[in-house]
């Protein structure tokens, strides 16, 4: 059900009391101005109006994806439209791409002028220009029964048949603009503001065409262009991968650039408070989770919305499947989105990994800052890593070598530590299948592994997921073994191109390294090998180098990329 809340937000309610957030700009779909873009829009409008004598010029509203460019343009349109001498027109470069960006942009400008201005100027242009179709266009102009859109279409056909005719376009537009300005009446000097949205979503070719249209055809008095774009994208598009050349080119087109700053601390908090209130999830987010949401999304409004929507959809899809409460589910969604590698490790290793991380964090704080430490936590950590205590500082270095490489950085992240510490230790949240944003294995391109022979050694084949089938679909022959003896038997028959192995096997934390060393030392296998396991630790990376393996990874995508690179080499 869709409705409006007390603050004017559009809400789509789902069973359970939570609501999906829409992605419309401020001013559409009931969205209110949580980022105070109305104030910025007012200031930009004042600048444009005060500079109307300098028109033509172009203003760029510069920001990345999801940072509120369209909302700012909507506010600017509202502010400018309050002046009766200002006319505005919108052109979406992305949605108009198939129809021809240059044609669409120029027609949008022509259609913004008064009907009589268009007819009068085009009569003169057609008398000067000898083009195929010109007589038909002239007849349409003279006839008052045709609408302005048909007149503009006919004139475009007449003026775009060849290069000589196209040169007339700039003259036509300039004459129309001058005539339009001269007939402004008593409302003050007229101004046409053309908003160009989503330019950075277009292909490089279309971006260049729009820029050329602004520079060559629409450089006329009384016209101001406002571009919503990520200028870095434009630099690459028009500079042909030479950003310097792109900057120099755009300097000829864009006279004023307003870089949209990320929200301040206060505005970001206001934004999140508004979103969680609107979605009905405010009671699920404590201060630490809100800080995490703000910082890990780069304060990007659209990313914040999407994460909240992920929870809402996840909760809705999973209703009745288990007893996982909403407060725990929202934490799992945060963990999966912001710390996917850690989430993957926990999914593979189980909740004991969380205990191991927290024990490491507490021990690290004890060593570095003298924080109080539970002796039981220290003992668990030494037992899990196989470290024999030798001295506090040395012990920290030793356990770090046996833990995932990301643990030291994660231990510095206060919001992450609080999030992980608040998760239930029973692991019931790991048993729930995740519907949204699930980790994608990412199959290699079809045929990229054609002819490759893979021997995969793992005592728990379930840990490999669907990867073997994905590799088979990509053309590889994949056979599996659960221990060294099976691997030896398969080796003789398969003559593998590559070996993929786990590390810990049958209670031996070094089995994968030991077995590969055995195969190499006895001349059974000398080819490439990779380790695919639940944790990448400094110690494991070093041992992999010692046995001549190409790498250790927990990432299916990385493993697929390694195999694809091997196939390309072979």
Neighbours of 472 (CB within 10 A): 13
How far are the Cα atoms of 99, 439, 532, 559 from residue 446, in angstroms, in the given order? 33, 20, 22, 16
Confidence of residue 490 (pLDDT cuts 50, 70, 90): very high
Contact at 8 Å (CB) between 47 and 258?
Answer: no
Q: 435 pLDDT exceeds 60?
A: no
* pLDDT score at 105: 81
- What does the alpha-carbon distance between residue 56 and residue 219 come to, in Å, rounded to a whole number? 6
In the chain, the N- to C-terminal Cα span, in Å, equals 57
Higher pLDDT, 161 or 560: 560
Res. 503 pLDDT band, cuts 50 70 90:
very high
Q: Which of 351, 360, 389, 407 is nearest to 538 (CA)?
A: 407
| Mean pLDDT of the 34-58 span | 89
Residues in a beta bridge with 256: 59
Average pLDDT for 418-426? 89
Q: 3-class DSSP state for residue 285? A: coil
* Cα–Cα distance for residue pair 259/44, rounded to 1 Å: 12
- Which range has the worst mean pLDDT, 36-40, 352-356, 418-422, 498-502? 36-40
pLDDT of residue 318: 66
Report the pLDDT value the prediction gives residue 65, as an integer from 0 to 100. 83
Instruction: Give CA–CA dist 68/63, Å, rounded.
Output: 8
Asked if residues 218 and 115 have their Cβ atoms less than 8 Å apart, the reply is no
What lies within 8 Å, CB to CB, of 409 at 6+ separation is none
User: Helix crossing, 231-239 with 204-212: angle to 10°?
Assistant: 90
Distances (CA, A) of 5 to 12, 19, 31, 114: 10, 11, 10, 41
Q: What confidence score (pLDDT) does residue 359 get?
A: 96
pLDDT of residue 481: 94
Identify the bridge partners of residue 89 per DSSP, sorted by sequence position: 194
* Residue 361 pLDDT > 90: yes
Sheet holding 191-197, edge to edge: 86-92, 191-197, 223-229, 57-62, 256-259
Cis geometry, peptide bond prior to residue 56 (ω within 30 degrees of 0): yes
> What is the structure's pLDDT at 225?
92
CB-based burial of residue 543 (10 Å sphere; 0-12 exposed, 13-18 middle, 19+ buried)? buried
pLDDT band, residue 287 (cuts 50/70/90) = very high
- Taking residue 421's Cβ as centre, other Cβ atoms within 10 Å add up to 14
The first and second tokens of residue 482, run together, are: 């659960």
pLDDT band of 418, cuts 50, 70, 90: very high
Q: Give residue 26's pLDDT.
A: 58
Q: Which helix (H) or strand (E) holds 467?
A: helix 467-473
Name the more confident of 1 and 538.
538
Alpha helix stretches (DSSP H) within 51-202? 69-81, 101-110, 115-128, 134-142, 148-159, 163-182
Q: Is residue 436 within 8 Å of 314, Cβ to Cβ?
A: yes
Q: Compare 432 and 303 and report the one with higher pLDDT.
A: 303
pLDDT at 100 over 70: no
Q: Enumerate domains of the chain plus CATH numbers.
A: 37-259 (3.40.50), 265-431 (no CATH), 453-569 (3.40.50.2300)
Reported as a pLDDT band with limits 50, 70 and 90, residue 432 is low
What sections of 339-462 are H helices per DSSP? 340-349, 352-369, 375-385, 392-401, 407-412, 414-421
Residue scoring higher pLDDT (249 or 141) = 249
Per the listing, tokens 């859109």 go with: 149
Q: Convert the pLDDT of each residue in 445-462 to its tens digit.
A: 445 788 899 999 999 887
On the question of pLDDT at 235 being above 70, the answer is yes
Q: How confident is the model at residue 439 (pLDDT cuts 50, 70, 90)?
A: very low
Count CB atoms within 10 A of the CB of residue 511. 19
Which has the higher per-residue pLDDT, 85 or 147?
Answer: 85
- Write down the mean pLDDT value for the chain: 82
- Is the per-residue pLDDT at 205 higher than 80? yes
Residue in the block written with tokens 């909740």: 351
């Amino acid at each position: 059900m869709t409705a409006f809340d007390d603050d004017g937000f559009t809400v789509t309610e789902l069973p359970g009391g939570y609501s999906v957030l829409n992605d419309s700009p401020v001013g559409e779909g009931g969205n209110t101005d949580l980022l105070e873009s109305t104030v910025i829009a007012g200031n930009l409008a004042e600048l444009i109006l005060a500079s109307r004598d300098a028109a033509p010029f172009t203003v760029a509203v510069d920001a990345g994806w999801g940072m509120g460019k369209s909302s700012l343009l909507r506010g600017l349109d509202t502010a400018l439209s309050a002046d009766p001498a200002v006319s505005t027109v919108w052109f979406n470069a992305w949605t108009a791409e198939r129809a021809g960006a240059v044609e669409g942009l120029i027609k949008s400008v022509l259609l913004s002028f008064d009907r009589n201005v268009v007819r009068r100027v085009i009569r003169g242009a057609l008398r000067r220009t000898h083009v195929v179709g010109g007589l038909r266009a002239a007849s349409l102009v003279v006839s008052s029964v045709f609408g302005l859109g048909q007149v503009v279409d006919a004139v475009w056909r007449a003026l775009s048949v060849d290069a000589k005719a196209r040169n007339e376009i700039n003259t036509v537009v300039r004459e129309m603009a001058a005539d339009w300005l001269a007939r402004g009446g008593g409302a003050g000097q007229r101004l046409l503001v053309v908003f160009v949205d989503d330019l950075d979503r277009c292909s490089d070719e279309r971006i260049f065409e729009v820029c050329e249209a602004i520079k060559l055809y629409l450089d006329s008095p009384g016209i101001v262009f406002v571009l919503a774009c990520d200028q870095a994208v434009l630099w690459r598009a028009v500079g042909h991968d030479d950003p310097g050349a792109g900057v120099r080119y755009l300097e000829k087109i864009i006279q004023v650039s307003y870089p949209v700053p990320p929200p301040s601390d206060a505005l970001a908090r206001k934004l999140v408070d508004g979103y969680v209130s609107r979605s009905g999830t405010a009671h699920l987010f404590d201060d630490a989770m809100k800080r995490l949401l703000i910082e890990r999304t780069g304060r990007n409004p659209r990313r914040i919305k999407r994460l909240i929507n992920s929870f809402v959809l996840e909760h809705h899809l999973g209703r009745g499947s288990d007893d996982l409460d909403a407060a725990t589910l929202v934490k799992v969604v945060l963990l999966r989105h912001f710390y996917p590698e850690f989430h993957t490790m926990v999914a593979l290793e189980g909740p004991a990994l969380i205990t191991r991380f927290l024990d490491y964090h507490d021990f690290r704080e004890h060593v570095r800052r003298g924080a109080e430490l539970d002796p039981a936590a220290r003992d668990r950590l030494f037992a899990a890593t196989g470290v024999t205590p030798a001295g506090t500082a040395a012990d920290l270095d030793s356990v770090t070598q046996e833990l995932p490489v990301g643990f030291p950085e994660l231990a510095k992240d206060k919001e992450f530590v609080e999030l992980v510490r608040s998760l239930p230790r029973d692991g019931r949240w790991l048993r729930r299948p995740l519907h949204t944003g699930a980790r994608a294995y990412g199959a290699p391109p079809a045929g990229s592994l054609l002819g490759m022979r893979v021997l995969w050694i793992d005592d728990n084949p379930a840990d490999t997921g669907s990867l073997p089938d994905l590799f088979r679909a990509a053309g590889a022959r994949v056979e599996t073994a659960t221990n060294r003896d099976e691997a030896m038997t398969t080796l003789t028959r398969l003559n593998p191109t590559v070996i993929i192995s786990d590390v810990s096997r049958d209670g031996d934390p070094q089995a994968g390294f030991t077995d590969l060393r055995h195969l190499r030392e006895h001349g059974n296998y000398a080819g490439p090998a990779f380790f695919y396991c639940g944790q990448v630790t400094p110690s494991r990376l070093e041992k992999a180098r010692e046995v001549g393996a190409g790498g250790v990874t927990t990432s299916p995508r990385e493993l697929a990329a390694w195999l694809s690179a091997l196939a390309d080499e072979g």
